[in-house]
């Protein structure tokens, strides 16, 4: 569901392909609902090893993130997942990790899981852009390094899976409120904000290299 | 005071300092970011700066790490040959990392190579990293702490150029890395450039460049000129905060160089993200200390007078990282 509240775009999960189609690169929105974390190892397990993600994220959100979670063991064992006396979890710090590391997995990952929103850091390339176009999804950036704000938007960690991968790599299931700002960087038409900006950056870089090179003839 | 209680004091102070450094940016980094924000006019870039400063404020208020990636701990130790605890330092710092991991808390970021298991306490084979410089005839010790995050470690690159390619090739080497990897490394970046004889001397020089204060200049005039040219050049690329576009892309560029073989020019670049979490603390032989980077770090964070009860002064400690 997409709402405009006082000029602010708020997306509440689940979200459909039609709703996703209304988002375009450069748009800013905030997220309410269900989001799970997954980065290198989670993508490898799902895509390379063919394991099923233990949580249904169809029409929901995958965030490339490895949070800091405080585990409260008061209730008992820290090792059992979902069993009686299982620990509770407190989100301390969560922000995005470099999305580009997931580029080779993302098409198949979205195809397999049906996620519609990817949250990450920096750009992704053609394969992800193709996935967003073919499957009706977007990639967006949560400005990185702002992990305390991120954590304050997590109302509850509802579950954790694959904790054997370690804290950063596990699948943390979160209920979030007002999570953002999220800036759309690949839209469902396949437009890619970073790839478009990079053309400008490359051109200006070549100009600067030529200019600076005139002034560093230090070699004798 | 016995040697062991002195070592405990180093451990306590360093654990507190590491935790403080995860939650508070150094003074020079804060000042550089404020300056960049004041000169920015791109609306999206300004929105991102506002978010960054709100996050830093919230981190202070809630006593939490500013970023979830609290990095891989690296220490550059400039130790006087007469410092009484020279032999105990690695053990004390390793223990400080373990204690800071639980008390801060820090994310567990150390994975054993080949075995591919996360050790859970931020220590492991060769972890944390120690680089040593011995300072003859001094009885104090200067310790640089650095939390090397994954995102801003990825652009790191070193190679050996042929001198015939000139310093021009070094310029291309650095700028190419900014557009290929720098964009994703959480700009505005702090850029360390190292030049030396070989790949590894250049790489270590680049890391040392990141330890130097933002706004400081290389003593060599030509090197200082190159710092300024690179800084202006990278800014002119215009990738801005988060690589999404903006007037300024770097908080600074520092160059550190050492002599080289006439046939080789080792060149390296490494970057710090906008949240450049490095600290510098100097101990004298009696373990009085002075913090060079963080004006907010005070004795209340350390257990100076207590040899054993380090938990009381750390606030919300917990068995967080099992």
Domain boundaries, chain B: 3-24+66-149+277-314, 151-272
CA distances A5 to A22, A31, A72, B38, B246, Å, are 16, 12, 36, 30, 28
CA A2, CA A81: separation in Å to the nearest integer? 34
The per-residue pLDDT for B305 is: 42
Residue numbers in A near B154 (CB within 8 A): 98
* Cβ–Cβ gap A208/B69 under 8 Å: no
Burial class (CB in 10 A: 0-12, 13-18, 19+), A146: buried
Binary contact (B179, A205; C-beta < 8 A): yes
**Which pLDDT score, from 0 to 100, does residue B296 have?**
84
Task: Say yes or no: ipTM exceeds 0.85.
Answer: yes
Catalytic residue among A43, A64, A139, A161: A43
Under DSSP, the state recorded for A96 is: B
A40 vs B contacts (CB less than 8 Å): none
Shortest CA gap B135–chain A (Å): 31
Å between B27 CA and nearest CA of chain A: 17
CB contact under 8 Å between A216 and B239, yes or no, is no
Residue count of chain B, please give it: 322
Distance from CA of B81 to the nearest CA of A (A): 37
B236 and chain A in contact, CB less than 8 A? yes
List pLDDT tens digits, range A24-37: 999 999 999 999 99
Chain A CB contacts of B241 below 8 Å: 143
Task: Determine the straight-line distance between the first and last CA of chain A, rounded to whole angstroms.
Answer: 66
Task: Tell me what pLDDT residue A84 has.
Answer: 52
pLDDT of B302 reads 44
Residue B316 has pLDDT above 50, yes or no: no
DSSP string computed for B132-196: EEEETT---EEEEEEEE-HHHHTT-EEEEE-GGGHHHHHHHHHHHHHHHTGGGS-SSEEEEEEEE
Low-confidence residues in chain A, pLDDT < 70: 74-85
**Mean per-residue pLDDT of chain B:** 92
Q: What is the pLDDT of residue B311?
A: 34
Q: Do A70 and B54 touch (CB under 8 A)?
A: no
pLDDT digits (tens, 9 = 90+) for A27-69: 999 999 999 999 999 999 999 999 999 999 999 999 999 999 9
Helix (H) or strand (E) holding A41: helix A40-47
Cβ–Cβ < 8 Å for A103, A47: no
At B152, the pLDDT band (50, 70, 90 cuts) reads very high
Which option is the CATH number for A2-193: 3.40.50.10300, 3.20.130.10, 3.40.190.80, 3.90.1150.10? 3.20.130.10
On average, the pLDDT of chain A sits at 93
The band of B317, judged by pLDDT with boundaries at 50, 70 and 90, is: very low
Query: Residue B130 pLDDT more than 60?
Result: yes
State yes or no: pLDDT of B100 exceeds 70: yes
Q: Which two tokens stand for residue B10?
A: 């180093």
Chain B residues within 8 A of A95 when measuring between CB atoms: 67-69
Rg (CA), chain B: 20
Predicted confidence at residue B11, as pLDDT, reads 97
What are the pLDDT digits (tens) for A119-128? 999 999 999 9
Which of B46, B69, B240, B317 should one mutate to test binding to chain A, selecting the residue with the greatest count of A CBs within 10 A?
B69
> CA B26 to CA B189: how far, in whole Å?
14
Q: Is B170 on the interface with A (CB under 8 A)?
A: yes
List the structure tokens of A51. 């394991």
Say how far apart CA A116 and CA A153 lie, in whole Å: 20
> Which residues fall within 8 angstroms of residue B291, CB to CB, at 6 or more apart?
B17, B279, B280, B281, B282, B297
Verify whether residue A43 is a known catalytic residue. yes
Per-residue model confidence (pLDDT) at position A85: 67
Taking each helix axis from N to C end, the angle separating A103-113 and A40-47, rounded to the nearest 10 degrees, works out to 60
Burial of A44 per CB tally in 10 Å (0-12, 13-18, 19+): middle
Measured between CB atoms, does B66 come within 8 Å of chain A? Answer: yes
pLDDT given at position B270: 98
Asked if B313 and B302 count as a contact pair (C-beta separation under 8 A), the reply is yes
| Contact in structure between B203 and B173 (CB atoms under 8 Å) | no
CB-based burial of residue A215 (10 Å sphere; 0-12 exposed, 13-18 middle, 19+ buried)? Answer: middle
Q: CB neighbours of B166 closer than 8 A, spacing ≥ 6?
A: A216, A217, A218, A219
Weakest-pLDDT range from B27-31, B123-127, B190-194, B308-312? B308-312
pLDDT in tens, B262-310: 999 999 999 999 999 999 999 999 999 999 999 989 745 444 444 333 3
What are the pLDDT digits (tens) for B175-230? Answer: 999 999 999 999 999 999 999 999 999 999 999 999 999 999 999 999 999 999 99
Of A123, A141, A149, the CB nearest to B55: A149
Question: Does B99 score more than 50 pLDDT?
Answer: yes
Q: Is the Cβ of B94 closer than 8 Å to some Cβ of chain A?
A: no
Q: How far is A69 from chain B (nearest CA, A)?
A: 7
Q: Any residues with CB less than 8 A from the CB of B193 and at least 6 apart, and which?
A: B170, B174, B206, B209, B226, B227, B230, B253, B254, B255, B256, B267, B268, B269
From the candidates B30, B64, B68, which should be mutated to test the interface with A, based on the most A CB atoms within 10 A? B68
Chain B's closest residue to A182, CA to CA, is B48
């Amino acid at each position: 569901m997409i709402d405009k509240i006082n000029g602010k775009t708020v997306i509440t999960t689940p979200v459909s392909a039609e709703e996703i189609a209304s988002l375009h690169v450069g748009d800013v929105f905030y997220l309410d609902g269900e989001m799970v974390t997954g980065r290198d190892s989670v993508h490898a397990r799902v895509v390379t090893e063919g394991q099923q993600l233990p949580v249904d994220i169809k029409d929901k959100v995958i965030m490339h993130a490895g949070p800091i979670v405080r585990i409260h063991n008061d209730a008992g064992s820290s090792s059992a997942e979902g069993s009686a006396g299982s620990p509770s979890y407190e989100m301390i710090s969560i922000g995005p990790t470099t999305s580009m590391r997931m580029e080779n997995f993302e098409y198949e990952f979205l195809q397999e899981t049906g996620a519609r929103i990817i949250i990450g850091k920096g750009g992704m390339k053609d394969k992800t852009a193709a996935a967003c176009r073919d499957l009706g999804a977007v990639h967006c950036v949560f400005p990185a390094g702002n992990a305390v704000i991120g954590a304050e938007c997590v109302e509850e960690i509802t579950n954790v899976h694959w904790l054997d991968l370690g804290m950063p790599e596990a699948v943390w299931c979160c209920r979030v409120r007002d999570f953002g700002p999220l800036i759309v960087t690949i839209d469902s038409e396949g437009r890619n904000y970073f790839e478009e900006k990079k053309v400008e950056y490359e051109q200006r870089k070549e100009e600067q290299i030529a200019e600076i090179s005139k002034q560093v003839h230090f070699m004798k | 005071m016995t040697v062991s209680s002195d070592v405990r004091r180093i451990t306590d102070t360093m654990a507190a300092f590491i935790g403080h450094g995860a939650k508070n940016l150094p003074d020079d980094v804060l000042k550089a970011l404020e300056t960049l924000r004041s000169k920015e006019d791109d609306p999206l870039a300004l929105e991102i700066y506002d978010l960054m400063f709100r996050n830093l404020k919230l981190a202070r208020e809630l006593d939490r790490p500013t970023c979830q990636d609290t990095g891989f701990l690296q220490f550059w130790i400039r130790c006087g040959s007469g410092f009484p605890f020279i032999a105990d330092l690695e053990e004390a710092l390793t223990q400080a990392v373990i204690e800071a991991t639980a008390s801060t808390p820090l994310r567990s970021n150390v994975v054993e190579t080949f075995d591919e298991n996360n050790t859970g306490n931020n220590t492991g084979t060769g972890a944390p990293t120690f680089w040593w410089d011995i300072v003859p005839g001094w009885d104090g010790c200067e310790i640089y702490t650095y939390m090397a995050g994954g995102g801003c470690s990825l652009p790191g690159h070193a190679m050996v150029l042929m001198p015939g390619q000139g310093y021009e090739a070094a310029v291309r080497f650095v700028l190419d890395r900014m557009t290929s990897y720098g964009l994703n490394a959480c700009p505005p970046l702090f850029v360390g450039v190292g030049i030396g004889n070989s790949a590894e001397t250049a790489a270590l020089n680049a890391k040392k460049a990141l330890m130097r204060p933002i706004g400081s200049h290389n003593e060599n005039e030509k090197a200082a000129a190159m710092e300024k040219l690179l800084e202006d050049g990278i800014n002119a690329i215009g990738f801005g905060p988060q690589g999404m576009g903006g007037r300024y892309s770097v908080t600074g560029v520092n160059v550190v160089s050492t002599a080289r073989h006439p046939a080789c020019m080792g060149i390296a670049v490494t970057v710090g993200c906008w949240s450049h979490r490095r600290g510098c603390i100097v101990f004298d032989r009696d373990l009085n200390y002075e913090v060079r980077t963080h004006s907010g770090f005070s004795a209340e964070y350390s257990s100076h007078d207590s040899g054993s009860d380090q938990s009381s002064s750390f606030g919300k400690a917990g068995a967080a990282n099992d």
